[in-house]
Amino acid sequence: MAAEDAAPVGRPVGLKANAIGFVDALVIGLNATSPAYSLAAVIGPIVALVGVYAPGVMVASFVPMLMIASAFYYLNKVDQDCGTTFSWVTRAMGPWAGWLGGWAITMTGVLVVGSLADVAVSFGLLAFGLDGWVDNTFARQSLTVLLILVMTAVCVIGTELSAKVQNVLILAQVACLLVFVGVALYAVYNGTSAYDSVEPALGWLNPFGAGGAALTGGLLLGVFIYWGWESAVNLTEEVEDSATAPGKAGLWSTVILLVTYVSVGFAVVAYAGPAFLAENAGEEEFVFAQLATDVLGGWDWILLLAVSTSAIASTQTTIIPASRTALSMARRRALPASYGHISPRFRTPDVSTWWVAGIAIGWYLVVSRISDNALFDSLTALSLLIAFYYALTGLACVVYYRRHLFASVHNLLFIGLGPLIGAGLLAWLLVRSVGDMSDPANSYSGTSWFGLGPPLVIGIGIALAGVVIMIAWRLRSPAFWRERPSVADPELVRSHGLHKES
């Protein structure tokens, strides 16, 4: 390691500052959402609910994400902490709320990493014609665990290596999706689609076209395909121009995702037609696998590879928020100090990263033993955690800046009303999700756990486990809980030009 990369002798080892730039952070934010896999997972069910208005629902789902991204941007300006939501909510609303926000972020990584790696392996094998390996549970799960370990090692070895890997994966993923969109639309206008295709229309962008009830169901699916963009902000301590670049990367990633999702949404609905997609809505990934063959013929491996690279990229980037949140919590003494260890050689949070990966592997193997449907149910439970910590972040932004909201119209809109409305929408979706998940018929398993749907039981179990661990750590190490909420420092606000009418 070069001398300039080493930590100063006698000083605590910190994360490596200026390790990556804005573009690298943007790419990591994009890959963390796993665009191709997200589309494969939700395009069918969304079309089943709203028909040709699926692109409009994707636009509507984008609105709360953009509002919460604004909250991330302005909170990062005053606090460049890799713990993001944990640190900001603690500042604004106190240690109890902050701890629960940090717990939610960490557990999302644990729940989803195994499933993402499993999808990456499965679609990768399909792309290379190894269908039999996909059906071999031992082989597929062994490769899944190996992939998680490799991606974890990449995270530990260094943020620069992570960024380089992500750059390659996003290029491959976007290129594959663009090829699919181009070929599908060409077939539509040429009349060579294998299905009852329909030509795209601007009216498809109307999210209210299918009615209010259908829009609500579509939003519950659509809003979470944007989840993950904040990984760029979790790298704030390692990004050049840390006060603004990570927040901008988060904002721009949501916009790029919007364009990608709407483009693919138009292509899929136009090529296959709403009837076919609605009939196969319960088979999620089948839609892309089937359409890959129909649209691309012998080149179907292109789209299969897109989903695989999407999931590989997200496997790695999903570890980042969880591990860095645990690091931040340990530094503030909200978790055992060992989770705050930083590798002297690589300047990354090695202990927390390996812990997240280890727990994620354990969760994946145990839940997979129950059934593949139970694994999907654990993913459904993610919606509760995501909506919770996103809404908490939006509310924290308003509370923290409360004395400066009326200093300008800009502040009122982008620091006050925007994050508050975003938090309100996500809170509403959270309540709706709880209602839907309480019915066992709405789960993948279709069975009842304690009279409730498995996803809701998993969500409640994770929440209760968090409360128990929080109380136990509060009794053992009360230092963190002595912190008191604060408001934005006027001098700091002034330095960012947010103190007067603009």
What would the pLDDT profile of 64-74 be if each residue is shown by its tens digit?
A: 888 999 999 99
Give backbone dihedrals phi and psi of 449, rounded to 5 degrees, phi first. -115, 115
The model's confidence at residue 4, banded by pLDDT at 50, 70 and 90, is: very low
Residue 285 has pLDDT above 70, yes or no: no
pLDDT, position 192: 86
| Between 265 and 91, residue with greater pLDDT | 91
Residue 502 has pLDDT above 50, yes or no: no
The model's confidence at residue 390, banded by pLDDT at 50, 70 and 90, is: very high
| Between 262 and 376, residue with greater pLDDT | 262
Question: Token pair 């309100």 is at which residue?
Answer: 424
In this prediction, residues 257-283 reach a mean pLDDT of: 78
Residue 214 has pLDDT above 70, yes or no: no
Torsion of CA 256, 248, 71, 20, to 10 degrees: 110
How many Cα neighbours within 13 Å face the side chain of 267? 23
| Between 101 and 367, residue with greater pLDDT | 101
Q: Report yes or no on 149 lying in a domain.
A: yes
Residue 443 has pLDDT above 90, yes or no: no
Q: Which residues contact residue 428 at a Cβ distance below 8 angstroms, ignoring those fewer than 6 apart?
A: none
d(CA 243, CA 496): 10
Percentage of residues in the chain having pLDDT higher than 90: 26
Residue 41 has pLDDT above 90, yes or no: no
The model's confidence at residue 345, banded by pLDDT at 50, 70 and 90, is: confident
Lowest mean pLDDT among 196-200, 292-296, 361-365, 453-457: 292-296
| Between 62 and 243, residue with greater pLDDT | 62
Lowest mean pLDDT among 19-28, 317-326, 340-349, 403-412: 19-28
Q: Report yes or no on 214 lying in a domain.
A: yes
Residue 379 has pLDDT above 90, yes or no: no
| Between 298 and 183, residue with greater pLDDT | 183
What total number of domains does the chain contain? 1
Residue 8 has pLDDT above 60, yes or no: no
Residue 11 has pLDDT above 60, yes or no: no
Lowest mean pLDDT among 43-57, 247-261, 385-399: 43-57
Q: What is the pTM of this model?
A: 0.85
The model's confidence at residue 100, banded by pLDDT at 50, 70 and 90, is: very high
Residue 404 has pLDDT above 60, yes or no: yes
pLDDT, position 298: 67
pLDDT, position 494: 75
Q: Report yes or no on 500 lying in a domain.
A: no
Q: Which residues contact residue 432 at a Cβ distance below 8 angstroms, ignoring those fewer than 6 apart?
A: 216, 220
pLDDT, position 462: 93
Average pLDDT, the chain: 82
In this prediction, residues 52-61 reach a mean pLDDT of: 87
Q: Report yes or no on 17 lying in a domain.
A: no
Q: Report yes or no on 227 lying in a domain.
A: yes
Q: Report yes or no on 3 lying in a domain.
A: no
Q: Report yes or no on 395 lying in a domain.
A: yes
List the domain range (segments joined by +) for residue 403.
Answer: 22-490
| Nearest alpha-carbon partner for 229 in 111, 115, 64 | 64
pLDDT, position 441: 81
Residue 2 has pLDDT above 50, yes or no: no
Q: Which residues contact residue 372 at a Cβ distance below 8 angstroms, ignoring those fewer than 6 apart?
A: none
CATH of the domain at 41: 1.20.1740.10
Is the distance from CB of 72 to CB of 321 less than 8 angstroms?
no
Q: Report yes or no on 497 lying in a domain.
A: no
Torsion of CA 444, 445, 450, 451, to 10 degrees: 70
In this prediction, residues 448-467 reach a mean pLDDT of: 90
Using alpha carbons, list the distances in angstroms from residue 202 to 54, 199, 207, 216, 264: 12, 10, 11, 21, 14
| Between 96 and 445, residue with greater pLDDT | 96
In this prediction, residues 422-427 reach a mean pLDDT of: 92
d(CA 141, CA 144): 5
Lowest mean pLDDT among 49-53, 142-146, 273-277, 380-384: 273-277
pLDDT, position 162: 59
